[in-house]
Chain A
Amino acid sequence: MQFLRWVYPSLVGFLLGLLQTGLFFQLTFTLSSSFRTFLMITVCWLLGSSAGIWAAKRVRLHLNGFTLLALFTYFACAVLLGLAPFNTQLWSIYGMLIMLIGLYPGVFFVRLGAFYTARQLFFRENNGFIVGLVTGTLLFLAIGRIALWAMPTFAAGIVVPCTLLVYTRARLDPPPNQITSLMEETA
């Protein structure tokens, strides 16, 4: 359990790294490889995260709900790209979808901030993000676009039960810095 608690932020970072890498590849391949695409992904992700910070304590949705929302929105992007390739009239829709994905990291940091010190949380998440970035790129090069679908699914398949375990454990054995309201929000 101690190991799970230690590794959990990295697992989330890994998933986020895969999602961001996957979005970048898929959108540059079948929407446009212009700077505008890169800009849209980055800015909308950041704005989504900002909204996620706001939503973390106001929206009564379990963290896993946000994980699954991010995953399904990611797939929605891929499906839309398949249905309407290179259609830049859909910029705003892609932007909104990416903002929905970006909600997840925002909520994650605020809610998990009660379980970890900020140093631990950001450090471990960022390490996972690096692994996700590298794995996503190398696996895409090695096995193609299937990696962009399979890897985030695989990572989410690990993150979702881990989230449940981390929260359950936290309920039984709350760390000193934990705030009670967190439990209510995530129950």
Chain B
Amino acid sequence: MTEHHTVQLSSHKPPAWMLPTLSWQRIAPFLIVFFSGANLILVQWVMTREVTTLLLGTELVILLISVSYFIGVSVGYLLAGRIKRAWMPILGVLTLVLHLTLPVTFRGLVAWLGSNNAYWAAFLVLPSLTPFVVSMFYSVFLPHFVDDGQAGLGSLYLTELLGSVCGIGVLVFLADLGVQTVYVVYTLGLITVLVSLGIRRRWVVLLTVVSALWLALFPVANLWSNTLWYTTLLGFPEGTSVLFSGYSPYQKVDVLQLPDGGRALYLDGLDHFNGSYGIRLNIIVGTVPAALIEPENSLVIGAGVMQTEELIASRGGHVTTVELDPMVADVGERLFYQYNRMDTLTNRTVVVDDAKHFLANTDVRYDLIVADTPAALSIQPATLYSVPFYQSIHDHLTAEGVFVGNMTSAFVPGDNISRRVAASALQVFDEVLVITPASVGWSFIIAADNLPFSREELDAALRQNGEVQFSTFDTPAVRAVVGNTTPITLDSMDFVLQTSLEWINERLRWGGE
């Protein structure tokens, strides 16, 4: 007879002052479910950023990963009561190994697929693995314990929810310390689950020691596997190393040291700044407009490496950067001095905020607003190309103020994205010029109600800043190319779906050509 039953069947009344006796069998389901709730949140945080990066995230990839994760939860529910109790500790140990090594093994797997010209298979393999490897294990317990009569649904479900809230608390307070710290908490949680499942003491000691050793080595393995991924799959030359890799609340942030001494910034595996290639883009959106209007007060939306800001601020005037992601702002400041001189320029401010929220809550007007925002491959960045956002920018420009925006594709009659971006700008601004410098390969909007320079002056500024080949569309030409294209609003985001599909389709052909 178990201790639990002994307690229940005991007939004599305890003294009034005595606390109720809680047997281990009674507490164990609650401990297991609590730490399952917490660990599901933690592993989801790691998995989402890692798999999004490996599949070079777009809205559809994000959706695919979310669905894959929740399917794992369903598989766990389905298996509840069908897996023998004796198997659970074995599955738990496997889960510990798989989860602690997940970033390294997944990167290794995708790099291996890429080196065998089969990157496309990652789009099948990772979403297929995720349900079984990531989320299945923890969701077995709650329905199993309830249906087994070990505790009531309400109390166990409440325990799991509180575990989830604590998991979120860990991310809020400890995620800044790095994935290694989060993994320490995660490991303690899973070992508690295993202890509650009744594994032997020597196994607990062994697992704790091995986990601690792995976690001590993790930073090295993490940087090594990141480097492997960038050199094997994204074609960076030998000698490239990863200086920094971290999970922010929004994305995976990687800083690469290139063999030529340059540095690159990648967000969720997507190129945000890449040495000399990125510099031309920043000259177009920073140096050229600053030379034309000599702004007193400028705003740059989206930090990146903050070189645009340096190019404007070095001519005088104050430059404010608004960046959503604190980790991007931090690495931009700390690791890209050679490009942004953040250590010497004093006429700069960095604000961590959502640009939409920032503009809606400030009365400051700017002579120059630059939107150096990521491509509209998912919904949130797409809102930064919408009519309401452009209207907000318009409302924060001085009378002679100018807006410069990145279109992320070439403005040509057949290109849907750039035409829709231009259509959005035409809804808001009286004058819209579009330039396509060959050194960058895509187009930029220059817009205002009353541009303080002519097209000829713009062309001259481009030439003075080293741009030898470019095309310029004036407002009537932009209107002609745009035609009756629908502007981007919160009610016309269909293009995100389209670009997302095109992007995935393109990636599926990697290695096949």
Contact = CB atoms under 8 A, between A and B. Distances in A.
Check if A and B associate: yes
Nearest to B79: A119
B117 interface: no
Could you tell me the dominant secondary structure of chain A's interface residues?
A: helix
Contacts of A43: 165, 168
Given A39-B172, A122-B143, A33 B154 contact: no
Interface in B43-73: 59, 63, 66-67, 70-71, 73
B218 interface: no
B249 interface: yes
Contacts of A122: 77, 80, 139, 142-143
Contacts of B357: 31-34, 86, 88
Interface in B17-52: none
Interface stretch (B101-109, B279-287, B469-477, B486-494): B486-494
A143 B139 CA distance: 34
B78 interface: yes
A141 B165 contact: no
Given A85-B360, A117-B143, A141-B379, A34 B161 contact: no
B158 interface: yes
Contact of A142 (B73, B158, B494): B494
Given A137-B63, A140-B493, A144-B493, A130 B146 contact: no
B495 to A, nearest CB: 9
A154 interface: no
A138 B172 CA distance: 30
Interface string B356-376: 110011000000000000000
A29 B490 contact: yes
Interface residues on B, range: 35 or more
Interface stretch (A48-56, A60-68, A155-163, A168-176): A48-56
A141 B81 CA distance: 39
Given A29-B383, A130-B67, A46 B165 contact: yes
A133 B172 CA distance: 25
Contacts of A129: 70
A181 to B, nearest CB: 13
Interface in A123-143: 123, 126-127, 129-130, 133-134, 137-138, 140-143
9 contacts: A28-B380, A46-B165, A50-B162, A113-B154, A118-B146, A119-B78, A122-B77, A141-B379, A142-B494
- Give 9 closest A-B pairs by Cβ, nearest first: A144-B491, A86-B360, A35-B249, A118-B146, A123-B77, A118-B143, A113-B153, A119-B143, A32-B357
